[in-house]
Each structure stands twice: as structure tokens, then as C-alpha cells.
Structure 1
Amino acid sequence: MGRILFAFTHGTYLDAYSKKWRLYADTLNDAAMCIEIALPLFKNYTTFALCVSTVMKAIVGVAGGATRAAMTQHHAIRGNMADVTAKDSAQETAVNLIASFTALFIISVLGNSLTIFLIMMILHIIFNYFAVRAVCLRTLNEPRFLQAIDIYLKQEMIASPCEINRKEPIIFYQLGPNLLDLKLCGFQIRLGSSLKELVKDSPKFSLYQNVQEVYRDRKYAIFPRVNKRKMHVVIKENASTDDILCSYFHSVLLSIIICVINDYQLPSSKNDGEPRPFAQVCQTLQSAEWSREPSDYPKARREFIYEPTQDLIRYVDKIVQKEWRRVRGGLLATGWDLSKHLLMVDEWRIIDNNKKSDRTQRDNFSSIMECAKIVSFGEAICKNDFPVNLSETEKQMADAVIQDNLNKKKN
């Protein structure tokens, strides 16, 4: 059960954060061995302790095997995965053989000591950390891409894969309030969000209309949730890897600028020493009245008091159109592999009205826009008055939101 539940809940993270989970697997394996050795101390809880250690070893099996496959794919730069796998297995056998003789020598000289065991276990974790830190992955995941963008905005240069990998957070990424995206751009970025869920959360038609006009020619659309400090990216069905990477870069720039117009300063928007182009743009937008409008959310639900105007969203889109070509060329020139990515993207996609699909995780943009328009006007109409191009699910969604708004007004 532990193996199944772990694969179901964390399977999608093993590719994106292979170094982190490789280190976690080694640490869990050592912890499971410690529990088994300490079983005589838990005579009344032997069954429980064995269950815990078994679950931990099951997680080690899933995480270790999956991350090993990811690492092998990285090392097989010529597509020779079978050759790399065979040599890795042979190397592991040789290392285990040497380790067995070394262990026999240590036991015969130093004896059976718990102190020696603890020292060896700590050294094992430390050496595994340095081994994982030495791996230089050339595919962009979220922490590597964020750091590359941060260096570009501060220094007007693209860092190499090895430089970024040396600084990549491995242990504490995604833990606690100091998330890397919140720290560097002030917002949490969600790729592949459901437009239907966004309409339920904020049925404001003007926002969706503005976004649709700005991103009409793009394969994605960005919906800022200023009150929650989240940036939702809605992706079209035919979006490529380049479109997804561009959407993330676009979201980071828009997030930083929204923070600036709310007088929330980030390191990338400050002029430290020599003036930087992006920092100068941020300072100009901070004093521009056309870049902001008051937020409609109650004070109790928001941290920022201003939302971006349509003019600001369009202005940032023009900046991204120019800058992404430079960033993409720089990433390719420094050795990054942009043929694929390791960003965490949800499965929701937008399809055109004239395309039909049997897949369930799809959003019809025009139909949901019509729902948002109805909800925004606050008209308590019956289902028969909905546009004929709405599906039954979309009618139920719009009707539910309308009833919710009416109940709020009564209260």
C-alpha cells in the first residue's frame, strides 16, 4: 500500500526533482535500517515499527528506481540508455564488492560498535549529498529556471547549466513558507490551470475579456490572482515545449511587475550599483498611474491593493515577445536542452470550439467566457436562458455560481 500511495501522490515529482528524491531515498533507507536495528528497544511496538520500516523501504524502492532511470536518461546523451544502464549496474556491483571487504576489515579491527555504525551512516548521507550536488542536469525544472531568470534580470546574462546546478536548492525546496517562486517573483506560478475553476473562484467577466484580447495570438493565457498571490497559466491544447517555457518566463516577469506596482520590492526589481534595464522599467511602472487599478477584493482577503490594468498586461506581453527570443537563444548557446522541460504542468488544456475531444480534462474557452459574462452581470436566470452552445456541465457551473452570489447578497 505504501508503494502504491507514494507512486500515486508523488510520481509526477520524481522527474522534475530527481536529485532531491534520490537523496531522500538514501536517507529513508538509512532511517529504515536504524529502526530495524533498534527493534529490541521497542518490544511492545515491534509490529508497528516493522510496518513503518517496510513502508519506508517501499518508498525507497519507488523513488530510488524512478530517479535512477531519470539520471540514466540524463547521462545517455547519445541515446545509449542500455549501454549506460549496463555500465551503471556493473559499477554498482564493483562498489558493493569493495564495500563488503571494507566492512569486514572495519568490523575485525574496530569491533561491533554502534558509534562506528552511526558515523558510517552520517558519512553515507553526506557523500550522497555531494554526489547529487555534482550532477549537472541540462533540462529546466522550476528551481533551475527561476534561478536562470533571476540571474538574467539582475546581470543581463544567461548562466550555464553547471553554474545553476551548483546553486539549485535540493533539500528544502517546496518546504515551508519560503518557496523559491515566492522569494524571487512574489507569486506562486501554476501551469495548466483549469479555466472553469478560475471562473468559479472569480467570476469577473472584464478580467477574462481583457486576458482573451491580450493573449489572442499566444498558446497560453495568464490570469493573476493578486489577492492570493498566485499566477494561473491556462494552456492551449496545441502548445509546444517552447510555449510552456515562454509562459513561465512571462509569468515571472508579470509577477515581479505586479509586486512593484504594489510597492513590494524584490531583489530583481532593485537598482543595486549600476542601473539595470529591467529595474529601470520597474521603477517607471511603479510611478505610472495607467499601470494599476484598485482591487475589488475585500481588505481581509488581499495583501496587495492594486491589480494590473489591461494596458500593463499588454505592455508586459510586448516586453516578453522581445526578451524571450534573447533568453531562448542564450539558453541554447550556454548548453541548456530546450527540446523538453521538467516544469510541473497540470493536465488541463483549452480547445477551440470547432474541435471535439473525448478527453474529460478539457476547457472550452468561449463557452466558459460566456458563463463568466452571465455570472458577472449577476442575472438570476433559469437554465433555459443559457446560450445553446453551453454543455450541461457548464450550465450547472454557471447556475451554481449565480446562486452562490445571490446567497451572498442576501446575507
Structure 2
Amino acid sequence: MLFARQGKKFDYDLKQLRFSGDLMMELGAGIELATAAFPQLFLPLACMANVVKNVAAVTSTSTRTPIYKAYAKGENIGDVTAKGESVGNIADLLGTGMSILMSKRNPSLVASFAVLSCGYLLSSYQEVRSVVLNTLNTARFTVAVDSFIKTGRACSFIEGRELRGDYI
């Protein structure tokens, strides 16, 4: 309920929120790993990690459907959702398999976490980067108006992203 006021951002800034949620999930996992290094702080670190990961989960869940909707053509949202969830399950299984293979070689836990987290975040970045939203938030509206004033025509959503210099 603490963040309920932020609800509209899930519709307008969903790509940024989706990626931020993934960053928070990795931060939470990193805090969990820190409990091994600081056993005397186990309870506060575990609680903090749990809070961060739960906020990240809400962010991820809340942005999933609008992202799937952006990929849908007409009324095939069920098909897009099924495919998206299947890809997510395959990625989870592959990640589990990779971690099992890596653990047999006894690598550094921190190094393994860093490599797998970077891979996850890179994939997440590519996911949100590929989504083209057909809605206007404040930044997209400003770019569209500026483009129209300068050129006499409204820019496309992709052109607008390039004009804004968005990383996502």
C-alpha cells in the first residue's frame, strides 16, 4: 500500500519500471548473499533482502501484462502471454542448469553471482528495449510536440525514443 500512489507510472513508464524492478531483484539477491559474509547481521539483511525482492516482484508482475499487450496483434494477448511465460520458464531452467554446472567447479560465489546477474540484466535490458509503446508519457509527449513544432510532423515512437536519447 505504501507505493499504491505510483500506480499510474506502471502504465506510462513501464519500461523503466520493469528494468528498475529487475535491478532491485538482483540487489535483493545480492543482499541475501551478504548474509553469509555477515552472519551476525543475518536477520536484518534477510529482512531487507525480502522487502527489496517483494517490491521488485510487484514491479515485475505489474509491468508484465502491458509489455505483453505491446507485442499483441489484435486479440492474441493469450498467445503472447503463453509464449512469454514459456520463454521465462525456459530461461529459469537454463539458469538453474548453468548454476548446477558452475557449482560443480567450485567457483567464487560472488563471481558466479556477478556473471549470472549481468547476463540476466542484459537480457532484461534487451527485452524492454525491444518494446515499442503506443502511449505517451510526459517525456514522449514533450518530444512529439517539439518534433511537430520543428518539422511540421509528429515523429514515430521509435524516432521519439532516439530523439530523447533513452537508454530504454
Superposition TM-score tier, normalisation by shorter sequence: 0.7 to 0.9
Q: In structure 2, how many angstroms separate the alpha carbons of the residues matched to 1:37 and 1:149?
A: 47
Residue deviations 1:88-136 (CA, integer Å, cap 9, x gap): 1122222222333333333445x32122321332332233223212211
Matching of residue 93 in structure 1 with residue 127 in structure 2: no
Residue deviations 1:53-77 (CA, integer Å, cap 9, x gap): 1111111121111100111222223
| Residue 5 of structure 1: aligned partner | 2
Which one has the bigger strand percentage?
Answer: 1
Q: In structure 2, how many angstroms separate the alpha carbons of the residues matched to 1:98 and 1:120?
A: 11
Provide TM-score, normalisation by structure 1. 0.38
Matched AA of 1:127: S
Aligned-pair CA distance for 1:18? 0.5
Aligned-pair CA distance for 1:82? 1.9
| Residue 107 of structure 2: aligned partner | 112
Q: Which has the higher contact order (CA 8 A, sep 6+)?
A: 2
| Residue 140 of structure 2: aligned partner | 144
CA contact (8 A) 1:137 1:165 kept: no
Q: In structure 1, how many angstroms separate the alpha carbons of the residues matched to 2:101 and 2:163?
A: 38
Q: Aligned match of 1:52 in 21, 43, 48?
A: 48
Q: Aligned match of 2:160 in 161, 164, 167?
A: 164
Secondary structure at 1:34's aligned position in 2?
Answer: helix
State how 1:288-307 maps to structure 2 within 5 Å.
none
Q: In structure 2, how many angstroms separate the alpha carbons of the residues matched to 1:86 and 1:103?
A: 26
Q: In structure 1, how many angstroms separate the alpha carbons of the residues matched to 2:158 and 2:93?
A: 32
Please list every run of 5 or more consecutive structure 2 residues that lacks an aligned counterpart in the other structure.
none
Aligned-pair CA distance for 1:17? 0.6
Q: In structure 1, how many angstroms separate the alpha carbons of the residues matched to 2:112 and 2:86?
A: 28
Residue deviations 1:212-258 (CA, integer Å, cap 9, x gap): xxxxxxxxxxxxxxxxxxxxxxxxxxxxxxxxxxxxxxxxxxxxxxx
| Residue 23 of structure 1: aligned partner | 19
Provide TM-score, normalisation by structure 2. 0.85
Matched AA of 2:100: L
The alpha-carbon distance between structure 1 residues 96 and 40, as it changes in their structure 2 partners (threshold 3 A), is closer
CA contact (8 A) 1:133 1:165 kept: no
Q: In structure 2, how many angstroms separate the alpha carbons of the residues matched to 1:77 and 1:165?
A: 22
Which one has the bigger helix percentage?
Answer: 2
The alpha-carbon distance between structure 1 residues 49 and 123, as it changes in their structure 2 partners (threshold 3 A), is same
Matching of residue 40 in structure 1 with residue 36 in structure 2: yes
| Residue 69 of structure 1: aligned partner | 65
Secondary structure at 1:5's aligned position in 2?
Answer: coil
CA contact (8 A) 1:19 1:170 kept: no
Q: In structure 1, how many angstroms separate the alpha carbons of the residues matched to 2:167 and 2:86?
A: 28
The alpha-carbon distance between structure 1 residues 124 and 167, as it changes in their structure 2 partners (threshold 3 A), is farther
Q: Which has the larger radius of gyration?
A: 1
Q: In structure 2, how many angstroms separate the alpha carbons of the residues matched to 1:127 and 1:121?
A: 10
Please list every run of 5 or more consecutive structure 1 residues that lacks an aligned counterpart in the other structure.
172-411
Aligned-pair CA distance for 1:166? 4.1
State how 1:6-405 maps to structure 2 within 5 Å.
6=3, 8-109=4-105, 111-113=106-108, 114-168=110-164, 169=166
Q: In structure 1, how many angstroms separate the alpha carbons of the residues matched to 2:33 and 2:158?
A: 40
Q: In structure 2, how many angstroms separate the alpha carbons of the residues matched to 1:16 and 1:34?
A: 29
Structure 1 segments, 4+ long, off by >6 Å, are: none
Aligned-pair CA distance for 1:150? 1.5
Matched AA of 1:159: C
Q: In structure 1, how many angstroms separate the alpha carbons of the residues matched to 2:25 and 2:155?
A: 35
The alpha-carbon distance between structure 1 residues 103 and 42, as it changes in their structure 2 partners (threshold 3 A), is closer
Q: How many residues align?
A: 166
Q: In structure 2, how many angstroms separate the alpha carbons of the residues matched to 1:50 and 1:167?
A: 42
Q: In structure 1, how many angstroms separate the alpha carbons of the residues matched to 2:131 and 2:161?
A: 7
| Residue 255 of structure 1: aligned partner | none
Aligned-pair CA distance for 1:149? 1.3
Q: In structure 1, how many angstroms separate the alpha carbons of the residues matched to 2:26 and 2:90?
A: 21
